[in-house]
Copies of this chain bind each other. A is one copy, B any other.
Amino acid sequence: MTWKTAVANIPYGGAKGGIGCDPGDLSISELERLTRVFTQKIHDLIGIHIDVPAPDMGTGPQVKQTMAWILDEYSKFHGHSPAVVTGKPIDLGGSLGRDAATGRGVLFAAEALLNEHGKTVSGQRFAIQGFGNVGSWAAQLIHEQGGKVVAVSDITGAIKNSKGIDVPSLLKHVKEHKGVTGFHGADAIDPQSVLVEDCDILIPAALGGVINRDNANDIKAKFIVEAANHPTDPEADEILSKKGVVILPDIYANSGGVTVSYFEWVQNIQGFMWEEEKVNNVLKTYMTKGFKDVKEMCKTHNCDLRMGAFTLGVNRVARATVLRGWEA
């Protein structure tokens, strides 16, 4: 274990770099052989106390199967080692609650931020850009907590209902129609306009760089919770800062997935599976503690949340490095 997800305050987690390749038009059989030979070549460089691969973008719909192949091939060399990958199928040692983890982490992050400002999720209006695994889970959990989801977009289009979209119905619609377009309980809008809809909290949950100088001035939300990786570019960051918009940075806000990957590793190491309720509760504890630590860093250094989060992470790694000594 050489690298810590320091902001998320994970004390033992190995580096969880995302592994994936665009399956493109490879057959499943070709993908299996590719994955196995790749694992043969790196088997000495990964390990339960070295580096622990996890899924990331581009791994395609069979990603859990891919993790299973890595586990199986690795185990030929090192014996059965479920902790060597995370994001595994539950039947091979995956964690309950892993699917929803990033979305659930976004909820906990938003809660922590709103509580800090004397609010709760209940009654707030949310606009969510992106309705994949992260966005749809966030929407569902926000809805359960009494939040109003007023606008949603995905690659098929965007919809809006200022009274709040009925999320369970939307999820059913999406499952059937492979996209939000055509949902009866909301009005179609220009996909681009989701980001500048009237709302309290904006959750960009798709690609990077979507909030930039072209639209930053038009954003109406008071809070942005970055569920995607680097959705806000530096120029937009500065514009929004001047406007008083509070941004909860990605490095903290979308860390729920990697955190539950760490819990999966812990369960594998301990040989004992957690119930889903425990997974969710411990995730909440980590996310809440993380927000408090970031906030404290902001006070000490009088900086915004993004700088506070980076400072927190860098400090933790630096302190560990110094403690290891000069001949490390």
A residues whose Cβ falls under 8 Å from a Cβ of B = 1-2, 11-13, 29, 32-33, 36-37, 40, 47, 49-50, 64-65, 68-69, 71-73, 76-77, 79-82, 89, 91-93, 265-266, 268-273, 316, 319-320, 323-328
CB contacts (< 8 Å) of A89 on chain B: these are: 323
Tell me if B327 and A36 are in contact (CB < 8 A): yes
Q: How far is the CA of A79 from the CA of B271 in the complex (A)?
A: 20
Closest to A68 in B: B323
- Tallying the copies of this chain within the complex gives 6
Partner of A273, one of B12, B36, B91: B12
**Are A316 and B69 touching (Cβ within 8 A)?**
no
Q: Output the nearest chain B residue to A2 by Cβ-Cβ distance.
A: B80
Q: In the complex, what residues of B have CB within 8 A of residue A269's CB?
A: 270-271
B49 touching A326, Cβ below 8 Å: no
> Provided the pairs A68-B324, A265-B271 are in contact, do residues A77 and B77 lie with their beta carbons within 8 angstroms?
yes
- Decide if A320 touches B91 in the complex (CB within 8 Å): yes
Asked whether B92 lies within 8 Å of A323 as measured between CB atoms, the reply is yes
A76 to B2, CA, bound (A): 12
B80 touching A1, Cβ below 8 Å: yes
Q: Are B266 and A323 in contact (CB under 8 A)?
A: no
Q: Are A91 and B319 in contact (CB under 8 A)?
A: yes
Q: Quick check: A37 and B327 within 8 Å, CB to CB?
A: yes
Q: Given that A12-B272, A93-B12, A270-B270 are contacting pairs, would A72 and B324 also be in contact in the complex, using a CB cutoff of 8 Å?
A: yes
A11 and B273 contacting across the interface, CB-CB below 8 Å: yes
For the complex, what is the distance from the CA of A326 to the CA of B89, rounded to whole Å? Answer: 16
> Which residue of the partner chain B has the closest CB to A64?
B323
Given the known interface contacts A91-B316, A271-B266, the answer about A79 and B49 at a Cβ–Cβ threshold of 8 Å is yes
